[in-house]
Structure 1
Amino acid sequence: MATTLRLRTSTPDLGKHPRMTAHDRPRLYAIDGVRFLAAVGVMLYHFTARWSQVWGDDPGHVFPETGPVLIYAVLGPELFFVVSGFAILMTAWGRDVPYVVASRLARLYPPYWIAVVATSVLLLFIWPAGKDISVHEALVNLTMLQELFDVRHVDGVYWTLWVELRFYLIMVLLVAWGITRKRLLWLCALWPVLAQVALELGWEHASTALADGYAPFFAGGMLLYLMHREGHAVLPWLLVVMNVGLAVRNTVPWQMTSVTTNTVFTPNPWVLGVLTAGCFAAVAVIALTRVQHLRAAWLMPLGALTYPLYLIHEYWGWWAIDLLAPHANRWLVLAAACALAVVLAIGLHALEKRLSPRMRRSIETSLRRARPALSLRTPRSTVRR
């Protein structure tokens, strides 16, 4: 196993330098750390800046010291999308459709189902003042397709999962076609541009199918994985720059509107632009510099808690704040809400570890029985030009 990432600017000689698979490369522990920090940032943004009634006043007035900084944690989902592009391509490269479908569904759904049930129980029976939802809405949310049925999210953070599902579908189609370097480069060049055209022209259905303005984040992450796998090259870097430009073009106006609407603060558009580009830069530093060799196994459990913490924190944390805010110091209340969210995330992850492997095996077995041609299909060469 090589210990350094070879830098290549031309087609490698496969006889001398065979490409590594995802299993050959050491784990990128720093990815676990940055994902967890992003989730914590989103949680703190929701608890101390985003509008809610749980503090008895606008959170921005309760935390005037931290609010102007924490509003920029609103970009946490965008960072997740770049990481997702990187990680899902790493998982899918050289695999077949049954494996990819089973691994993604088993990763996404079990913790989500538990979170939906837990939050629905909270809002229906324990704390109905938190949000007025119906049993019907809760049941539809279990599909993760509620936006297709024009049904509200039980928890607002679920919007990112609808984005992820559309990216997963695009990845499954790519896997079915066969992942090659050339096809990947074409995808990362055309997909974000087509999504942008559909968005600008108001072609709603096409924009939705192409993941709206979030396509550049996924494409950028995929390109960074390609260079992590094969080394630096001019064309992938040019495509990364293009995708960063599209991401900034979309994200800055969106988040200017979102943050000014949902908080008492007004973000700096230049800072939003720099931090949007920073989502790509963070993954690039982790994957393409000496940081990739960081050995910090203690970051793995934090990475594992990222998704459960993201799913469960918002309404359970607000409930704790609503209970405690009239009786305790604001910082103690905030710490208690964060602690509750982490404890719930640990429990959610424990259940996920029991359910997800079984679900993955069941789905993969069913798909292979139903479509044996998919499992027998040999993935196309990863170096075909």
Structure 2
Amino acid sequence: MGTNVYTPEPALTRAAIRGQQMTGTRPSAAVPRFRLLDGLRFLAALAVVIYHFTARDNSAWGVPVGQVFPEFSKISAFGAFGVQLFFIISGFVILLSAWGRDVSSFTASRVGRLFPGYWAGVLLTSFLLLVLWPAGKDISLTQALVNLTMVQEGLGVGHVDGVYWTLWVELKFYLIIGILMAVGMTRVRVLVLCLLWPLIGAMAEETGNPLLANLLVPEFAPLFAGGMLIYMVYREGASVLLLLALGFNAILAGYQTLGGHAQAIEHAAHVTLAPPTVWITVIGLFVIVAAATLTRLNRVPWKFLSMAGSLTFPLYLIHEYWGWWFISLGSPHFPQLAVLPAVIALCLSMAWAVWRFVEKPINPLLRSAVQRGLDRLWVTHADERYPTAPK
């Protein structure tokens, strides 16, 4: 969910990319933003928000949520598939932003983009659960501090907010992209990765190799890989091989979702998702991202979509427990149909505040600081390996 959309880099020749990797230069010229992807990210986050408030099990309304929204919850449960949309978009955008760059600039951009908003989210939610609303969830100060690392799941520590699980999945994707960048990103290697990564992940899951399956995230690998392949079509044009690889990942994503995320939604929202509906939803998400990037829709000039995209990450991070707390305060006194939009508006206001006063000023500073540190580390390493000959 930490993906941002981004001023894409122009397509570069392999020779230019090799030159950048050898000289350490970064791409310069940029093409217009994919503003529609910004809007899709915001809609995906809003769908997840509505799912958590109106379909997923929660005690905020004072009665089972299915009683509050008996019919609407059957529809809003599909908002949970916003996660699948996030991951497809992430595959497209992360490959776009990584192509032609070196590992240090990619790392700096990801750290600068993710951590300020994430730290704000952890601190705000921890303050809520430790001070204002301890009944909301039992967490400890130690747990909150470990969560600031973003790798708490790898350390066996629970998430302060359940939505953080997607960030752990994203970090594994970034690691895979970083390894690909380190060995050299080429068209052939990207294509091989997009075919073998989901396949090996599925095999590891099937054969009971927990370590490999945990690293390769088989349930979500075809979503990332499919997004990467959509970018390859954008970059190079459609070909039979790319389209077949994309179709393979879309089908595998539908199969994995049917056996994983869809069942989790059914359990959490007490709904039944018919398999054809799940298939149509997942395949439809690939079609939507392809339409937003491969057709004239990629030229949509509406700047308000970029503003909406800026709110996506903080909204996703802070909405769940703050929203449930707001609901618990308002639902005993006001009609549910008045409480729901008011709470969404409050969460959007908090997201705007995090963007305006945390992300906007700190993101570029942290990115630059990490970049300088990595550059110094690289220069020091190069000097140690290739010391200047004495005169």
Q: Scaled by the length of structure 2, what TM-score is found?
A: 0.88
Secondary structure of the structure 2 residue equivalent to 1:160: helix
**Match in the other structure for 1:17:** none
1:129 Cα offset (Å): 0.7
- After TM superposition, list the pairs within 5 Å mapping 1:264-275 onto structure 2: 264-275=270-281
**Match in the other structure for 1:163:** 169
2:247 to 241, 249, 270: 241
Q: Which amino acid aligns with 2:301?
A: R
* Whole-angstrom CA distance in 2 between matches of 1:374 and 1:228: 37
- After TM superposition, list the pairs within 5 Å mapping 1:35-50 onto structure 2: 35-50=41-56
2:210 to 204, 220, 229: 204
Bigger drift between 327-336 and 207-216 goes to 207-216
* Whole-angstrom CA distance in 2 between matches of 1:369 and 1:187: 31
* Whole-angstrom CA distance in 1 between matches of 2:365 and 2:262: 43
1:347 to 343, 353, 368: 353
* Whole-angstrom CA distance in 2 between matches of 1:375 and 1:181: 28
**Matched-pair contact (CA < 8 Å) for 1:49–1:70:** yes
Secondary structure of the structure 1 residue equivalent to 2:219: helix
* Whole-angstrom CA distance in 1 between matches of 2:70 and 2:59: 16
**Match in the other structure for 1:363:** 370
* Whole-angstrom CA distance in 1 between matches of 2:187 and 2:380: 24
1:64 Cα offset (Å): 1.6
**Match in the other structure for 1:4:** none
1:375 Cα offset (Å): 9.7
**Match in the other structure for 1:72:** 78
Secondary structure of the structure 2 residue equivalent to 1:213: coil
Are residue 320 (structure 1) and residue 326 (structure 2) matched? yes
Secondary structure of the structure 1 residue equivalent to 2:260: helix
Gaps of at least 5 residues in structure 1 are 1-11, 15-20, 377-385
**Matched-pair contact (CA < 8 Å) for 1:105–1:360:** yes
**Match in the other structure for 1:63:** 69
* Whole-angstrom CA distance in 1 between matches of 2:288 and 2:150: 29
**Match in the other structure for 1:29:** 35
2:117 to 102, 105, 111: 111
**Match in the other structure for 1:180:** 186
Are residue 308 (structure 1) and residue 314 (structure 2) matched? yes
Deviations 1:225-258 (A, max 9, x none): 1111111111111111111111111101223421
Seq. identity, %: 46
Secondary structure of the structure 1 residue equivalent to 2:136: coil
CA RMSD of aligned residues (A): 1.9
Instruction: Name segments (4+ residues, structure 1) moved above 2 Å.
Output: 21-26, 372-376
1:22/1:231 CA distance change after superposition, 3 Å: farther
Are residue 299 (structure 1) and residue 299 (structure 2) matched? no
Gaps of at least 5 residues in structure 2 are 1-12, 16-26, 384-391
* Whole-angstrom CA distance in 2 between matches of 1:119 and 1:67: 25
1:375/1:51 CA distance change after superposition, 3 Å: farther
Q: Which amino acid aligns with 1:140?
A: V
Q: Which amino acid aligns with 1:363?
A: V
* Whole-angstrom CA distance in 2 between matches of 1:360 and 1:192: 31
* Whole-angstrom CA distance in 1 between matches of 2:262 and 2:108: 38
Deviations 1:291-346 (A, max 9, x none): 11221111100011111100010000000000010000101111121011101100
1:235/1:365 CA distance change after superposition, 3 Å: same
* Whole-angstrom CA distance in 2 between matches of 1:36 and 1:130: 26
Q: Which has the higher contact order (CA 8 A, sep 6+)?
A: 1
